[in-house]
Amino acid sequence: MRRIFVMGMGAAMALAGSAAMARAVVDGRLQVEPASDGVKYIVDNSKLGKAEFFGYVGDFVDNKKITAILLLKGDKATDEQKHVISITAATQHIEAFVDQGGKVQPLVDPTPPPAAAPPPPPPPVEGQTPAPPAEGQTPASASGG
């Protein structure tokens, strides 16, 4: 009798868990809300930090359950929250959308990308004479020695 009861409870929890996940995904999009603290994310009543959120999304992507992330209440999200969702989606090779006032549109990362590093100077050519020292330098200090 006890064994039947335990198996029944296990089946009930499995169904409850799958029903909870089903609410988090609508039309292949993971439904995410910004937490009011400005740095966390709410997915299916669970409050997640950045790393937890990334892992959660990765798990859904690996199981082929989502093709996009939808940020609900986008007008209440901080730029940092939007940025994290944008880079998480890009890293997982899925799309990111934002719902602002009932309009769903692609999420544009509000944080500009870092400036590109300048290209390195070309290597010296054999037989080329060294450049003269800069103003205020002596020939010894210009050569690094």
Instruction: Give tens-digit pLDDT for 53-93.
Output: 999 999 989 887 889 999 999 889 999 999 999 999 999 99
Range of the domain at 44: 22-112
Bridge partners, 100 (sequence order): 103
Which band of pLDDT confidence, cut at 50, 70 and 90, is reported for residue 22? very low
118 domain residue, yes or no: no
Q: Is 123 domain-assigned? A: no
Range 111-117 average pLDDT: 77
Whether the Cβ atoms of residue 111 and residue 136 lie closer than 8 Å to each other: no
Residue predicted with more confidence, 130 or 75? 75
Asked whether 80 and 53 are in contact (CB, 8 A), the reply is no
Q: What is the average pLDDT score of the chain?
A: 79
Question: Does the residue 61 lie in any domain?
Answer: yes
Residue 82 lies in a domain: yes
